[in-house]
Structure 1
Amino acid sequence: MPTNLQVAQRVHAIEPFRVMEMVKAAGEMKRSGIDVISMSVGEPDFTAPDVVAHAAMEAIRAGSTQYTDSLGLRELREAISGHYAAVHGLDIDARRIVVTAGASAGLLLACAALVADGDEVLMPDPCYPCNRHFVSAFGGKPVLVPSPAEDRYQLSAAHVEEHWNARTSGVLVASPSNPTGTSMTPSQLREVLAAVRTRGGFAIIDEIYQGLSYDHAPVSALALDPDAITVNSFSKYFSMTGWRLGWLVVPEALVATFEKLAQNLFICAPTVAQQAALACFTPEALAIYEERRREFQRRRDYLVPALRALGFQVPVMPDGAFYVYADISALPHAASGDSTAFAWSVLHDAHVAIVPGDDFGFAAPARHVRFSYATRFERIEEAVARLARVLRA
C-alpha cells in the first residue's frame, strides 16, 4: 500500500481479535499431524439439518436467488414472529423484524442507527469483543463496567446508575453471554431496562444464544420492554454459522430507519440462506435442534464439575451458550497469573486449544480462560484427561 495513504482514525480504536492467533497456531499443529482438540472457537460442531440444506438446494434449483426486500423475506419474518409466539408467548408484529446478514450485521445496523459521535455505551466486562468495536466503528465510546461473578458477569441496574452521565446514550448487553455462558436473571434484566428507560436511553440486547438455555426457560427482553432492540441469529441454536443470517426486532417507530440503513449498507441478507431458514421452523428441524440443545447441556454438566475438580474456579454455573469462563488463579501451573501464557502452554503441552481472557475486556483477564464445549463429548473427555496429566505433572 502506498505510504502516503492514511488509515481512518476509527480503525485505531479497534483491537485485533487475539484469539485468532491461537486458532491459527492450532491449525498449523493439526496440519503437521498433531491431534489438537479445539475448545476455542464459538461454533457449534453441528451443521444445518438435512431439511434446511435441502431447502437451500431447492431455492437454487428454482432460481429463488435474487435480492429480497431489505427487511427480509416476508415469509421468513412471519415465521420468526411465529417462533416468538411459540417459544415466548409474545405477539411480535412481523413488520418489526429485520432480517440481517448475521447478528453482526444486526449489531452494526443498531449502532449505525443509535450511536452518535462521542456517545458512551455501557456494557459488562467481560463481554464479546466485537460488541465494543461495533460501537467504536460509529464514533461511540464503549464503557466496559467490571461485572463480577456476584452479578453473573452481567450489567446491573446499580452499574447503570453509577456510570450513566450526560454523554451516555444506552447499553449493549448479551444474555446468555459470550464468554461466560451466563444469562441475566429476569429481575436483573427488568431492572436494567427500567433504569435505561428512565434515562431516555436505548437498550440493545444480544439474544443470539437464547435458544441454548439449559436451566430455565429463556426470557426475551421484548417481554419486559417493547422498546428494547433485540438481536438474534441462525448461527448458534440453528447451527447455520457460515450462512450469515440473523435478525433484529426493533420498535415500530424505527423500522423505516433500519430499512434505510439496510438498503444502503447491505441491500439484503443472503437470499438462499433466507429461503433455507424457512425450514428451521418445521417440526422436523425443531426436534433436531432440541436434541442438540440437550446434548450441549450434557457436555456442560460434565465439563464444569471436571474443570472444578482440576482446580479451575467456576463461581457461576453457565446456564446458556456453550462456554465456561474459568479462573486459573488457584492452579499451580498458572502461578504467573498470565492466562495468555497458560493458554499457550496448554496448547503446546496438552494439545488442547482454549482462549485467554484478554480478548474479552479489562476486568482481570489474566486470571481467566474460556472453554468452548461446542465439540464432541468424547473429545471433551479426552481434553479433560490431557489437562489432568499436564496440570498434575
Structure 2
Amino acid sequence: MSFHDLASRLQNIAPFHVMELGKMAAALEQQGNHIIHMGIGEPDFTAAPAVVAAATQAMADGKMQYTSATGLPALREAISAHYQRVYGFDIAPSRIIVTAGASAALLLACAALVEKGSEVLMPDPSYPCNRHFVAAFEGSAKLIESGPEHRFQLSAGMVQEHWSAATKGVLLASPSNPTGTSILPEELKKIVDVVRGKKGFTIVDEIYQGLSYEGAPFSALSLGEDVIVINSFSKYFNMTGWRLGWLVLPESLVPHVEKLAQNLFICASSIAQHAGVACFAPESIALYEERKAEFKRRRDYIVPQLERLGFKVPVMPDGAFYVYADCSALSDDADAFTIDMLNKAGVVLVPGLDFGPATARRYIRLSYATSMENLQEAVQRLEKYLAQRKAA
C-alpha cells in the first residue's frame, strides 16, 4: 500500500543524520570491522542496581497496569524531594508530570503551546528534534546563530532583537546538546525576563542538568513558576531505553497537559516508573555521582587531545558529555570528513549538519560517553588517520 497524500508537515522534518551514521557504522561492524562509537549521546553505564531490582520486584508483584497520566504519586513526590535536596527549593508534586522520556515531555509542551504559525526562538546550533517538535504542530523554529562568543547559546539581547509578532516563546537547553555548554544563570534570568515581558513562554530542556561540572547546582525553575522545565532519567540516571522523563509546569497548565497526555500516551511505562523511584535512593545517587566524576575525567582527557590533533574547542563544555569542535583547520566539509573518518579510522563522530546551518560544515560533535580505553584508542586512530590524510 502506498500513500500519495502524506501530511505536508513531513516536508519540514529532516532525517536525523546521527542515526544515519549509526547505520553506516553498523554495516561496517557486520563486515567484521571494529568501530569506536562517539556519535550517539548515550551513557555507557546502565541503570543502578537498586533501579533494576525495583523493576524486577514490580514485575514480580504484578505492578504493570496503567498509572495516572500524570505518573505514579510516589515518583512525582521523589522528583519533588530531589529538587529540594539538590537545588534547595520546593516544587509541588502536583506541578510534575511523568512522561515517556523527555521527548514526550517536549511533545506535550509543544502540543499545549504551539499552533499553526507560531514561531519559537532557538539557538543555532541546537538539538534537531526540538525544532521538529515545533514543526509537528505547524509552528516554525527560528534558529538564531549563536557562536562561541555566546557559548553557543541565546542571549537576552538576541531574544529581544529577533522577537516578532509571530513569536510565541523560546526553547532552550542548558547544558546543551550538541555543545555541552550551559547558559549562565544571570543570562538565563535576563532571557526569562524578556520573554515574560512579551507574555511568551520559556521552555528549558534540563536533561543534562545533573551532569554539570562547574559551579553550584542551578535549575531554571528558580526563576519563577511560569518557566517550563523538561528533564529525563536517560542521561544522569543512565536509563536511556527505559523511556522515562518528566515535565514541570505552572499549576494552571497541568490539567491541560494532563488531558493531552491521557489521549496521546495514556501513561509512561508503569514498570519504568516503579523502577524510577529507586533512582533517588542514597546508594543510587552516590553511584550516579561517581559516574558523573568519571564523565568529567573523560572530558578533561579528550578536550586537550582534540586540540593537539588540530581541532579547536572554542568553549570548554561544562556539562553533558559532548565536545563541539571546530574542524575547519582539517577539512572544509564536516559531513564528508566524518564519513571518511568512519570508513578509514573506524571512529564515529557527528558532523554539525544536524544541529543547524550556522555550524554545519565547520563543526563536529564528539560524545565522550564511552570508556576511557575507547577514547584513548580513538585518539590513536585519529592521529594516524590525520597523518595519512596530510601526507596524501
Residue 81 of structure 1 corresponds to which residue in structure 2?
80
What corresponds to 2:2 in structure 1?
2
* Distance apart, 1:155 and its partner CA: 0.7
Which residue of structure 2 aligns with residue 344 of structure 1? 339
Query: 2:380, 2:212 → 1: CA distance?
Result: 27
**d(CA) in 2 for partners of 1:21, 1:167:** 34
Where 1:160 maps in the other structure, the secondary structure is helix
Percent identity over the alignment is 60
Deviations 1:302-340 (A, max 9, x none): 000110111101010000000001001112xx1xx1001
TM-score normalised over the length of structure 1: 0.98
What's the counterpart of residue 285 of structure 1?
284
Task: Report deviation, 1:355.
Answer: 0.4
Alignment partners' CA distance in 2, 1:216 and 1:348: 40
Deviation at 1:218, TM superposition (A): 3.0
Deviations along 1:370-392, one digit per CA (max 9) or x if unpaired, are 00001000100110111111112
Question: 1:104 maps to which residue?
Answer: 103
Deviations 1:203-256 (A, max 9, x none): 000000000011122311111122100000000000000000000000011111
- Mapping for residues 95-174 of structure 1, pairs under 5 Å: 95-174=94-173
The aligned runs of 1:16-27 (5 Å cut-off) are: 16-27=15-26
Cα-to-partner distance string for 1:9-61 (whole Å, 9 max, x where unaligned): 11111011112111011111112111110000100000101110010010001
- Secondary structure of 1:392's match? helix
Give me the whole-angstrom Cα distance separating, in 1, the residues matched to 2:296 and 2:2: 52
CA distance in 2, matches of 1:252, 1:114: 15
The aligned residue for residue 178 of structure 1 is 177
In 1, distance between residues paired with 2:150 and 2:142?
17
Q: For 1:143-179, what per-residue CA distance to the aligned partner results, in whole angstroms no more than 9, with x for missing partners? A: 0000010110001111111110111000000000000
Distance 1:128 1:264 in 2: 26
- CA distance in structure 1 between the partners assigned to 2:215 and 2:42 by the alignment: 23
Q: In the alignment, is residue 304 of structure 1 matched against residue 303 of structure 2? A: yes
What SS class does the counterpart of residue 210 from structure 2 fall into? Answer: coil
1:324 aligns to what SS in structure 2? strand
Q: Runs of at least 4 residues of structure 1 off by over 3 A?
A: none
Which amino acid in the other structure matches residue 258 of structure 2? E
Partner of residue 357, structure 1:
352
The normalised TM-score by structure 2 is 0.98
Instruction: Classify 1:117/1:386 alpha carbon distance in 2 versus 1 (closer, same or farther; 3 Å).
Output: same
**Structure 2 unaligned residues grouped into runs of 5+:** none
Equivalent residue letter for 1:312: F
Q: Which moved more, 1:212-221 or 1:306-315?
A: 212-221
**What does residue 56 of structure 2 align with?**
57
Q: CA deviation at 1:199?
A: 0.5
In 1: Cα distance, 2:365 partner to 2:91 partner = 35
Segments of 5+ residues of structure 1 without an aligned counterpart are: none
Aligned-partner SS, 1:366 = coil
Aligned mates of 2:89, 2:172 — CA distance in 1: 21
In structure 1, what residue type is equivalent to 2:84?
A
